[in-house]
Amino acid sequence: MFSLKPPRPTFRSYLLPPPQTDDKINSEPKIKKLEPVLLPGEIVVNEVNFVRKCIASDTSQYDLWGKLICSNFKISFITDDPMPLQKFHYRNLLLGEHDVPLTCIEQIVTLNDHKRKQKVLGPNQKLKFNPTELIIYCKDFRIVRFRFDESGPESAKKVCLAIAHYSQPTDLQLLFAFEYVGKKYHNSGDFMQKLKWLNSLMDFIKS
């Protein structure tokens, strides 16, 4: 009778398997750290992660995810996502694509969808609820919206208060923009030469 057992394999390989490289061992995706681009003397006052920037008013399909930062000069949204529906690209020497200078902010509105609360933030004011949305009305007619659905509630509240405090100082000379421009031009040799030439011209006219 024939045996029904399967035959044993007779082939044996003497080749070693290829060694694993570091790329295969460390196959986990590396998280890129989002850092702002700051001017000399500019400091970060507050920041919050996992923020959603609303691009369209009728859909969240084109929204961007990133980090919202408030400095003593601007608010900056940092993301790795490309800007959707953008036909023209330009580069500003002082501001990024998602930056808004503090001097350009007209009004700050915070909302909480769950509690149905809304408040217009001013300087040195308190916020009694954790905001789920931040709306910034700019002097150049832009309306910038941020959502804090995945952010820490306390971090979202702190960054909203920081934006309201630094965008509406008691004295305009306290704004970083005035201080930065003053240092930039007063330390410039061309400016000093033009100033001396102007003073000489005024003395000549008076004589």
Report pLDDT digits (tens) over 109-139: 999 988 889 999 988 888 999 999 999 999 9
Report the pLDDT value the prediction gives residue 70, as an integer from 0 to 100.
Answer: 95
- Does residue 85 lie in a domain region? yes
Residue burial 24-36, b: 16+ Cβ < 10 Å; e: rest: eeeeeeeeeeeeb
> Distances from the Cα of 31 to the Cαs of 34, 48, 80, 173, in angstroms?
9, 17, 11, 40
- Is the domain of 108 the same as that of 178? no
Tell me what pLDDT residue 99 has. 93
At 131 the pLDDT is: 95
Please name which of 48, 43, 119, 110 lies closest in space to residue 77, comparing C-alpha atoms. Answer: 48
Tell which residue, 112, 101, 77, has the closest CA to residue 166: 101
CATH number for the domain that contains residue 131: 2.30.29.30
pTM exceeds 0.95, yes or no: no
Chain length of the chain: 207
Select the more confidently predicted residue: 39 or 106. 106
pLDDT at residue 97 in the model:
86
Residue 69 belongs to domain spanning: 34-168
**Do 119 and 75 fall within a single domain?**
yes
Q: Is residue 136 part of a domain?
A: yes
> What share of the chain has pLDDT > 90, as a percent?
42
pLDDT at residue 115, as a whole number: 86
> What pLDDT, on a 0 to 100 scale, did the predictor assign at position 29?
44
Do 129 and 77 share a domain, yes or no?
yes
Residue 6 domain-assigned (yes or no) = no
Residue linked to tokens 């005024």: 202
Task: State whether 75 and 160 are in the same domain.
Answer: yes
Residue range 57-94, pLDDT digits in tens? 777 788 899 999 999 999 999 998 776 655 556 677 78
DSSP-based three-state secondary structure for 46: strand
Q: Verify that 145 and 56 share a domain, yes or no.
A: yes
pLDDT value, residue 37? 87
Place 184 in a pLDDT band, splitting at 50, 70 and 90.
low
Residue 60: predicted pLDDT: 76
Q: Could you report how far apart the first and last alpha carbons of the chain are, in Å?
A: 133
The mean pLDDT of 18-36, rounded to a whole number, is 58
